[in-house]
Structure 1
Amino acid sequence: MNAIEVNQIRKVYNQRDVALNGISFTIKTGESIVILGHNGSGKSTLFRTLTGFEEPTEGSVKLLGRGVDAGKRNHLRETRKKVGMVFQAFGLVDNVSVFQNVLFGALGQVKFAPATYSLFASDALRERAMECLDRVGLAHLSERRADRLSGGQKQRIAIARMLMQDPEIILADEPIASLDPKAGREVMELLKGIAEERNITLLMILHQLPIAKKYADRFIALKNGEVFADGDVTVIDENFETALFGNAGPEEASSDETSQHIEQEAKSS
């Protein structure tokens, strides 16, 4: 079964600014895919469309066989239940514990939100939360407040929270852009490892070619809101880099300095 189906989606702002222009692709269950492209290529708009935060002007998106309809909240909530999301900004609640943040990952699976509060959570939910924390290697920090963690630890907690959903798809939007090189490498290893051991479809939004080659099986490159190329990451070379990013290269096409350092580590590893 296809985990993700994108059919001729267009996104137009103000009736004239075309962000996406006829994007189509399918992703099979268990594939690890990276979306590549420079700033302004349409990566972020595509991500928001896949997650239902944006509604396409034309075309359709299906996740796990269900249509993504941003205009129907109940339908969108059902679609998202098995879709885990990882963002650059972590999205943790800073003034509560790590354990509580992970429990919040079960919000879509309970009838009442208080059932995810640590004081009221069932033994089954509490056990699952600790298992998720153990998988990301941070069970020993379960009682620490989230605002006392490093950036890398926060992203790993965000991944543990996502695992509480028991996802079949992981959508990761620039998951290492705000991390130092070591933490970025650890997060990429973690995401790839979880996807492989659980046969989860992993779709990452990145611009770094060396990281894409190391942690993805296939790439979809966007340029000017269209699919520029779609193929195995082994075909990525200097000629492809020049064709996609121009003479500036991916380092100058993105202003994120931390990501540049992570790219250098990926090249040398």
Structure 2
Amino acid sequence: MTTANPWNLGQLVALPYAPPQIVGLAAAVGCAGVGIRLLPTTAGGLYYPLVEDAAMLRETLAALADTGVGIFDLEVLRINEHFDVAAYAGFLEVGEQLGAKHILVAGDDPNASRMTASFAALCEAAARHKLTCDVEFMPWTDVPDVAAAVRIVRGAAQPNGGVLVDALHFARCGSSLEEIRALDPRWVHYAQICDGPVPGPDTTEGLIHAARCERMLPGEGDLPLRALFDALPRGTPVSIEVPSESRAPAMGYENWARLAVAETNKVLGAPFP
């Protein structure tokens, strides 16, 4: 398959789509790769347990072979105070089977030195499966901004460790474009695009709801998208992450994904930069 654009489709564009379905969706809208959610964001949250579901894993591998779409990133591995890298052996093995490139990592441990050590251990294990580990800074977590993510990645000192830049979180966390420009290019494996209002919600609950449930299409809001993506290393891969629990089901997930791709093309151009 020849893709129509270089973008990757994030799982949140169509969260109800199981991995075989979202691979097909990515192919239908011309995306090169797709993210899949193998672990829940919160207790009881929707995810797709390919580690335990051998039948769905086979279906997903067949869809990848049929479409030529690649698995881009795996969501969401949360590092908390109880983190034990051995518990994720199956996750890492399945990631390698799928040919995935990156793991989205969230930081939920208030002890920064312990979290850094946990992240280093994860990176070491993931490297054996050809995966990078990318810390996503989010204002309500224990990695709230760019500086905190940099401290973890620098402290872990692993060649496959990285900082994941999400446009919405960047606009909400108080970090600067200068901090983005200063990132070691070796740490920037990909970035996520969406849009939203400025200023954003003024409560933690509001920030979480907006991030997980109701983002805007690129170009619809007030985020400094062009400036942000120009500040990233040249050629940074881009994942489209635009969840909308109100608009996507109403218009249909394929139509929503097509619109998200079209608006990303308008903002960034294809190919980017």
TM-score by length of 1: 0.39
**When you count strand as a share of all residues, which structure comes out higher?**
1
Larger Rg: 1
